[in-house]
Amino acid sequence: MASLFVLVYPDDRLRIKAEPVLQFNAQLKQEIKDLFETMYEDHGVGLAATQVNIHKRMFVMDCSENKSTPLCFINPEIIYSEGEALSEEGCLSFPGVYANVSRTAKIRVKYLNELGEAQERAFENLESMCVQHEIDHLNGITFIDHLSNLKRVRLLKKLQKQQRQAL
Ligand code: NI
């Protein structure tokens, strides 16, 4: 297993739209393992393949407190949405900055697991927000795209400041 390099904004590769996964082979298995390892190492609750420059429609997620609920979503599709919820989001591609984002409260998702088996599950709260955030990544969308211009500019200034301090 290997921890992968996470692309950081404004890397253009974060804008690439991912392609559906068609082959469940050893390479895919390794990529999923690496995604999990990278997510846990970087203390994220979700990580999309796009963020590690793999442009396949898949992401991993674990929103549990003790990191005991690893979930892998391949070719995910939201098939039902209900309500609205505002919650604070962060992203490993935007280290150190957070913003309130309005999303659908409850969703139902159809996807394949790492074995290629069809799954369908309902999510709410943090998990629902996370699934929507990660599916956005697969479409080249990041959480700052949901903010007003003013809030986005403010957040990007803060991000630049953090990046300068990190040098
Ligand atoms: Ni993210």
Q: Using the Cα atoms of residue 14, residue 32, residue 113 and residue 124 in order, give the sign of their dihedral.
A: negative
**Dist. CA 94 → ligand 1 center (Å):** 8
**Dist. CA 73 → ligand 1 center (Å):** 15
- In this structure, which amino acid lies at residue 165? Q
Tell me the chain's radius of gyration from C-alpha atoms: 15
CA distance 103 to 31: 29
Q: How confident is the model at residue 3 (pLDDT cuts 50, 70, 90)?
A: confident
Does 134 participate in catalysis according to the annotation? Answer: yes
Whether residue 2 has pLDDT greater than 80: no
Peptide bond preceding 20: is omega within 30 degrees of 0, i.e. cis?
no
**Cα-based distances in Å from 77 to 14, 49, 111, 137, 158:** 20, 16, 6, 13, 33
125-145 tens-digit pLDDT: 999 999 999 999 999 999 999
Q: How many residues does the chain have?
A: 167
9-31 tens-digit pLDDT: 999 999 999 999 999 999 999 99
End-to-end CA distance of the chain: 28
**Dist. CA 139 → ligand 1 center (Å):** 12
Give the pLDDT score at 166. Answer: 79
**Dist. CA 143 → ligand 1 center (Å):** 7
- Mean pLDDT calculated for residue range 104-126: 97
DSSP characters over 7-56: P-TT-GGGGPPPBPP---SHHHHHHHHHHHHHHHHTT-SEEEGGGGT--B
Q: Which residues keep their CB under 5 angstroms from ion ligand 1?
A: 91
What domains appear along the chain, each with residue ranges and CATH number? Answer: 12-166 (3.90.45.10)
